[in-house]
Amino acid sequence: MINKATKEIVLKPSILVVDDEERIRDGCQRVLVQDGFEVATADCGAKGLEMIERQHFDIILLDLMMPSISGFDVLAQVKAQHPDSTIIVISGYATVEHSIEAMKRGAFDFIPKPFSPEQLRLMVAKAIEYTRALQDIANEKSRMRKLINRLSDGVMATDRDKRVVLCNPAFRRMVRYQEDVAIGRPAGEVLRSEQLEHLIDQTLAMPEEDFLELAEEWSPSRESGGPDLVYSARCLPFRDRLGRNVGAILVLHDITAMKRLDQVRSDFVSMVAHEVRSPLNSILAQIKVLSDGLAGPVSPKQNEILGRVSARIQGLVDLSSELLDLARIESGLILQEKEKLDLAQILREQSEFHRPRAESRSISLELIEGGPLKPVIANRRNVEEIVSNLLGNAVNYSPDGARIELSGAVENDYVRLSVKDTGFGISPEDQERIFAPFYRVKDEKTRMIVGTGLGLAIVKRIVEAHDGWLRVESEVGRGSTFHVYLPSADE
Ligand code: ADP
């Protein structure tokens, strides 16, 4: 419905002709009505202004030389009160000075009398195009403003002089700013936090060749005795087309609940590690004492049993170490610095890194370089970990002589990384499960391959922490392809 209404305004603009010459008024009206426009006329400036007060006109054809109020005065008033109307000046005394003056005062263009219907049509068509572009921008702006105002994350933007140019209600609440107006104020006054102000300073001073999203934890209670909450504060530069910093954008996200859960989890994991791993290690040590014969002679049969017991206990020790690793990686994902990354370079580095191991088993590892990849804003170590895990798996779960292809491509607003192998493949049921922590497919082909079942769980967590997604296509006996989608930086 809204779309239709907008379209109608754009497709059928309303036009007002203000001219004291009846011939011109009627002529314009006839031509434009024929072309399907809604056209009103006014025979003097005062009447024109009156009509403009009552109704919005998209385009105003305005004579400059009229008795009583001059066209210049009408122009000034319309520009001040109805900036959305596009004004085309018409005048019998067309001089360069006049046209320059009218344009300076905000007219869209100038059409000298006498003009042909064709000239009029051309000029109106040009003005419509301009009006449409203005409307698109205005619609987009108001959509963005509504969206930002409704976000539960706090968003603030500054200009390069560190003055606030945007500040949504959530942000004001988070920094407990209670004054009426934040826009135009120095950022420091609104933030009242040295830590956040320092983030903005660092961002504004960031050199052109870097694009970093700085991230820190911020607790209002630490600085100003505010509520006991924890926010992630992310700050990134806002740049113009020439890559110059024209401001900074600061986003606050409440991570209090996540931090509390993380604390509970890490307490639990340390408890497991301590209460389980230490006794297991001491059992292992004592078994070794037995098997080394230090507590009396051990028969070969007994030794074999002790060996099996040790192996199972070692498995439990490894498992608790992996639990610790997973917990560490997951808490690292809550908050981390991101930068603008060239994925093509990471793909090249990773393929070089994994190639020797692949080639040692006659597996070919090919990097397919298609078109240029858009950059992504991501944490470098994390992206390397994604590619490395997928490549490592492709090598592990492929027979000697297999083929692996690594590629990247741009798909809409995402950059897609794909790792394709001609390996063992994964059954449809297992495709659902392999992303769960510790899940490993156990069949005669994979039984002997050493692994923890954590790689893909970590890949999934990292991808999701970067607002991306991943999927697998696979057929048993033919091979698998893992696709990772990361949002591209829209600059
Ligand atoms: P790990 O490799 O340590 O077992 P992952 O989480 O990386 O742990 O993988 C989980 C399981 O998914 C693996 O045990 C394997 O069975 C299966 N898998 C992963 N990648 C592939 C692949 N490229 N081809 C076939 N199976 C795979």
Question: Residue 67: is its pLDDT beyond 50?
Answer: yes
Read off the CATH number of the domain in which 214 is found: 3.30.450.20
From 329, 397, 417, give the residue whose CB has the most ligand 1 atoms within 8 Å, as the site to mutate.
397
**Residue 460 alpha carbon to ligand 1 centre in Å:** 13
Helix axes 71-81, 96-104, angle to 10 degrees: 20
**Total Cβ atoms within 10 A of residue 406:** 23
Q: What radius of gyration, in Å, describes the C-alpha atoms of the chain?
A: 34
User: What is the Å distance from ligand 1's center to 419 Cα?
Assistant: 13
Do 115 and 155 fall into the same domain?
no
| C-beta separation of 483 from 407 below 8 A | no
> Which of 146, 162, 184 is the endpoint of a domain?
146
Higher-pLDDT residue of 235 and 453 is 235
For ligand 1, the distance from its centroid to the CA atom of residue 425, given in whole angstroms, is 10
Locate the DSSP E strands across 130-192.
Answer: 154-159, 164-167
338, with CB counted inside 10 A (0-12, 13-18, 19+), is buried
User: Is-contact 370 408, C-beta < 8 A?
Assistant: yes
Residues 285 and 378 in one domain: no
When mean pLDDT is compared over 132-146, 154-168, 215-229, the highest value belongs to: 154-168
Residue 41: both structure tokens together: 């006329």
The domain total for the chain is 4
The verdict on 42 and 139 lying in the same domain is yes
Q: What is the mean pLDDT of residues 248-259?
A: 94
Residue 398 sits in a domain whose CATH number is 3.30.565.10
DSSP state of 209: T
Residue with the larger pLDDT of the pair 216 and 12: 216
Torsion angle of the four alpha carbons 238, 243, 245, 247, in this order, in degrees rounded to the nearest 10? -20
DSSP character at residue 398: S
Asked if residue 163 lies in contact with residue 185, where contact means CB atoms within 8 angstroms, the answer is yes
Contact residues for 469 (Cβ-Cβ < 8 A; gap 6+): 463, 485
Return all residues near 443 (Cβ < 8 A) that are at least 6 apart: none
Ligand 1 atom nearest the C-alpha of 457 is 6
**Which residue has 């000697």 as its token pair?**
400
Q: Is residue 352 domain-shared with residue 432, that is, in the same domain?
A: yes
Measured CA to CA, the distance from residue 161 to residue 184 in angstroms comes to 10
Identify whether residues 74 and 176 lie together within a single domain: no
Which residue has a Cα nearest atom 16 of ligand 1?
441
pLDDT category, 276, cuts 50, 70, 90? confident
Q: What is the pLDDT of residue 1?
A: 38
Mutate to test the pocket of ligand 1, among 391, 395, 406, 434 (most ligand atoms within 8 A of CB): 434
Grade residue 255 by pLDDT with cuts at 50, 70 and 90.
very high
* Confidence category of residue 152, pLDDT binned at 50, 70, 90: very high
Q: Predicted confidence band at 7 (pLDDT cuts at 50, 70, 90)?
A: very low
| 225 Cα–ligand 1 center, Å | 49
Instruction: Look at residue 3 in the predicted model and tell me its pLDDT.
Output: 42
Query: With the C-alpha atoms ordered 19, 23, 27, 30, is the resulting torsion angle positive or negative?
Result: positive
Mean pLDDT over 438-466 rounds to 88
Q: How many Å lie between the centroid of ligand 1 and the Cα of residue 446? A: 9
Å from CA of 397 to ligand 1 middle: 7
E-strand ranges in 241-360 read 245-254, 338-341
Closest ligand 1 atom to the C-alpha of 446? Answer: 16
For residue 38, the domain's CATH number is 3.40.50.2300
Which of left, alpha, beta for 363 (phi over 0: left; psi -120 to 50: alpha)? beta
DSSP 277: I
Q: Which domain holds residue 392?
A: 339-487
Mean pLDDT of the residues in the chain: 89
Does residue 83 carry a pLDDT above 90?
no
The encoded tokens of residue 289 equal: 């004492």
Statement: the pTM of the whole predicted model exceeds 0.75:
no
CA distances from residue 269 to 276, 324, 423, 465, 491 in whole angstroms, order as listed: 10, 6, 35, 22, 41
Q: How far is CA 308 from CA 121, 304, 413, in A?
A: 92, 6, 53
Ligand 1, CB cutoff 6 Å, lining residues: 389, 393-394, 397, 421, 423-424, 426, 434, 439-441, 446, 451-457, 480
Please report which confidence band the pLDDT of residue 269 belongs to, taking 50, 70 and 90 as the band edges: confident
- Banded model confidence at residue 226, pLDDT cuts 50, 70, 90: low
Asked whether residue 54 falls in the same domain as residue 132, the answer is yes
For the segment 152-156, the average pLDDT, to the nearest whole number, is 96
- The answer on pLDDT for 145 being more than 70 is yes
Based on the fold, state whether residues 223 and 280 are members of the same structural domain. Answer: no
Q: Point out the domain boundary residue: 285, 309, 331.
A: 331
Same domain for 473 and 346: yes
Mean pLDDT of 431-456: 88
Pairing of strands 479-487, 414-421: antiparallel
Place of tokens 């060239």: 342
Provide the token pair at 478: 């033919």
Indicate whether 229 and 270 sit together in one domain: no
User: Rounded to whole angstroms, how far apart are CA atoms 16 and 87?
Assistant: 10
Bridge partners, 218 (sequence order): 231
Name the domain boundary from 309, 331, 353: 331
Which residue owns the Cα nearest ligand 1 atom 13?
Answer: 440
314-369 tens-digit pLDDT: 888 888 877 777 777 777 777 788 899 999 999 999 999 999 999 999 999 999 98
Q: What is the pLDDT of residue 5?
A: 40
Amino acid at 107: A
Among 404, 454, 456, 483, residue to substitute to test ligand 1 (most atoms within 8 Å of Cβ): 456
Q: Give me the pLDDT at residue 491, please.
A: 54
**Are 183 and 285 in the same domain?**
no
Please compute the mean of the pLDDT values over residues 63-77 and round it to a whole number. Answer: 84
Of the given ranges (57-71, 326-340, 365-379, 438-452), which has the lowest mean pLDDT?
326-340
Question: Based on the domain organization, do 158 and 208 belong to the same domain?
Answer: yes
Residue 94 has pLDDT above 70, yes or no: no
> The tokens 């991101």 sit on which residue?
338
Q: Are residues 36 and 61 in the same domain?
A: yes
Can you tell me which residue has the tokens 């340390």?
A: 270
CA of 248 to the centre of ligand 1 (A): 42
